[in-house]
Amino acid sequence: MKGLITNDWDRDNLNFLLNVKGDDFAAWYAQSDEDDKAYAQELMDAYSRELKLRAEELEIEARLDNTQEANMVIAKFRLTK
C-alpha cells in the first residue's frame, strides 16, 4: 500500500525512532541532517497511516463480532418449525 512501511530497513529505522530515549535521541538529532529528519518524519507519517488503517480494521472486526453475537441471541428466540 502506498505510504506504508514495506521493507525491513524502514521498519528497523521506525523502531529506532519509536524506542530511542533521552540522550540517545538528542545525539541522533544533533548528528542528523535535514534529509534524515525529513525521512524520520516520512516514517512517522507512514506509521500514523498504518495505525489508522489498523484501527479501522479492528472497528470492522468488532462490529462483525457484535453482529454475530446478536444473531446468536436472536436465533434463540426465533420460532422454528
Q: Which three cell numbers stand for residue 7?
A: 521493507
CA angle 22, 26, 32 (to 5 degrees): 145
Could you report the per-residue pLDDT of 7-19, keeping only the tens digit for each? 999 999 999 999 9
Spell out the residues 6+ positions from residue 1 whose beta carbon is closer than 8 angstroms to its own: 53
Could you report the per-residue pLDDT of 48-63, keeping only the tens digit for each? 999 999 999 888 888 8
* pLDDT, the chain, mean: 88
Torsion angle (degrees, nearest 10) of CA 24, 30, 31, 33? 130
Q: Which residue has the cell 505510504?
A: 3
C-alpha to C-alpha distance for 58 and 56, rounded to whole angstroms: 5
Q: In the chain, where are the structural domains located?
A: 8-77
